[in-house]
């Protein structure tokens, strides 16, 4: 992928055609995501304004850029992790004022912290006292202790989150939702459990997890590449193989929808943009699409991108959007 396209994407200057091609390239492999993450680290690094002069900024940018190109030929993984760590430090330092308005740290009980993310916010990052890391998607909330007990590590969760749990065989880690709980020792997985969803989904990326009901009875053991879907009405859990990349892409600021109908796409857009869709074609549910877009884009641009993959015409009147299938 041309670096000029990546730069235009980060600056929000891609045409709809360029953005569609870029997002398709990004979804093709984990290596593409890593390359973009490295370039994004450079981009964020470049935006830091605490250099004394423009020459110092340019020199730092050139040095980091050189390291990224070296990483492509040797020790790519190690350099990637180091760049990601440096970028996270710089981003956190710059974002401290905003964190006080975006995060809502509510001490719900002595020693308990609740972090909530608004519907309109992008993903946020939380580090727990044991070193475990959690990414929260929009409209999500996690409650955790300032310090875990000597027996178990328990967090309360609603919404969607990606967990990288620090390994500790003596202290199991539990994610408790309204319907199920996920028990792990050390692993990486995604949990989606919004109150409005019919199902609670657990997608395992690495390690092993046990899905339990609220009473602590084991329902299933997941291995990497599997998803457990718990139906809240029937209280039945099903397990299937999935492409985990599609269920964790939101961490990169992407919304990735796979094998979905226009109805599924418009439902997601309704949640994100607080708009209402009318689809003027009863057969619209018979065709499936793969569609990806970046959070934070205007609804007009997302609809324009949708028009490149689906034969549609649309009209927008305030919060009402009408779609006609051609």
Tell me: the pLDDT tens digits for 75-92? 444 544 454 554 544 444
H/E segment holding residue 65: helix 54-73
pTM across the whole model: 0.62
293, 260 Cβ separation under 8 angstroms: no
Asked whether the predicted pLDDT for residue 61 surpasses 80, the reply is no
Q: For 280-286, what is the mean pLDDT?
A: 75
Q: For 122-144, what is the mean pLDDT?
A: 91
Task: Name the more confident of 68 and 258.
Answer: 258
Of 34-38, 160-164, 273-277, 285-289, where does mean pLDDT reach its minimum? 34-38
Task: Name the more confident of 81 and 314.
Answer: 314
pLDDT band at residue 36 using 50, 70 and 90 as cut-offs: confident
CA neighbor of 299 nearest in space, from 278, 320, 280, 324: 320
Asked whether the predicted pLDDT for residue 63 surpasses 60, the reply is no
Torsion of CA 49, 55, 58, 62, to 10 degrees: -140
Sign of CA dihedral 183, 184, 185, 191: negative
pLDDT band at residue 1 using 50, 70 and 90 as cut-offs: low
pLDDT value, residue 272: 85
Torsion of CA 16, 1, 49, 65, to 10 degrees: -170
Give domain limits for the chain: 3-94, 103-247, 254-325
Residue that has been written with the tokens 């939101």 in this structure? 250
Assign residue 141 a region: left if phi > 0, alpha if psi is -120 to 50, beta otherwise?
beta
Token pair for 166: 């620090």
Tell me: the pLDDT tens digits for 214-244? 889 999 999 999 999 999 999 999 999 998 9
* 103-247 topology per CATH: Jelly Rolls (2.60.120)
Task: Name the more confident of 28 and 269.
Answer: 269
Q: For 105-122, what is the mean pLDDT?
A: 69
Burial of residue 35, with CB atoms counted within 10 A of its CB: 0-12 exposed, 13-18 middle, 19 or more buried: buried
Tell me: the pLDDT tens digits for 247-262? 898 888 888 888 888 8
Question: Up-side HSE of residue 1: CA atoms within 13 Å toward CB?
Answer: 25
Architecture per CATH, 254-325 = 3-Layer(bab) Sandwich (3.55)
172, 209 Cβ separation under 8 angstroms: no
Q: What is the mean pLDDT of the chain?
A: 79
């Amino acid at each position: 992928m041309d670096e000029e396209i990546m730069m235009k994407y980060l600056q929000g200057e891609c045409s709809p055609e360029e953005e569609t091609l870029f997002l398709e390239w990004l979804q093709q492999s984990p290596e593409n995501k890593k390359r973009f993450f490295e370039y994004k680290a450079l981009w964020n690094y470049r935006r830091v304004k605490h250099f004394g002069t423009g020459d110092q900024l340019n020199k730092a940018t050139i040095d980091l850029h050189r390291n990224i190109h070296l990483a492509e030929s040797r020790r790519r993984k190690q350099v990637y992790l180091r760049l990601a760590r440096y970028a996270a430090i710089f981003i956190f330092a710059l974002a401290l004022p905003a964190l006080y308005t975006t995060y809502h740290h509510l001490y719900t009980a002595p020693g308990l912290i609740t972090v909530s993310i608004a519907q309109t916010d992008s993903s946020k990052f939380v580090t727990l006292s044991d070193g475990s890391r959690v990414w929260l998607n929009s409209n999500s909330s996690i409650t955790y202790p300032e310090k875990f007990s000597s027996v178990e590590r328990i967090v309360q969760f609603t919404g969607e989150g990606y967990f990288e749990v620090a390994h500790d065989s003596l202290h199991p880690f539990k994610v408790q939702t309204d319907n199920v709980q996920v028990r792990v020792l050390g692993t990486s997985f995604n949990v989606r459990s919004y109150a409005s969803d019919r199902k609670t989904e657990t997608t395992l990326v690495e390690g092993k997890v046990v899905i339990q009901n609220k009473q602590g009875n084991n329902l299933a053991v997941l291995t990497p590449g599997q998803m457990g879907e718990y139906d809240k009405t029937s209280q039945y859990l099903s397990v299937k193989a999935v492409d985990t990349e599609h269920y964790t892409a939101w961490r990169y600021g992407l919304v990735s929808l796979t094998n979905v109908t226009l109805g599924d796409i418009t439902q997601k857009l309704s949640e994100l943009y607080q708009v209402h869709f009318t689809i003027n074609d009863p057969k619209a549910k018979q065709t499936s699409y793969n569609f990806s877009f970046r959070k934070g884009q205007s609804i007009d641009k997302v609809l324009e991108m949708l028009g490149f993959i689906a034969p549609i015409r649309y009209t927008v009147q305030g919060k009402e959007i009408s779609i006609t299938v051609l």
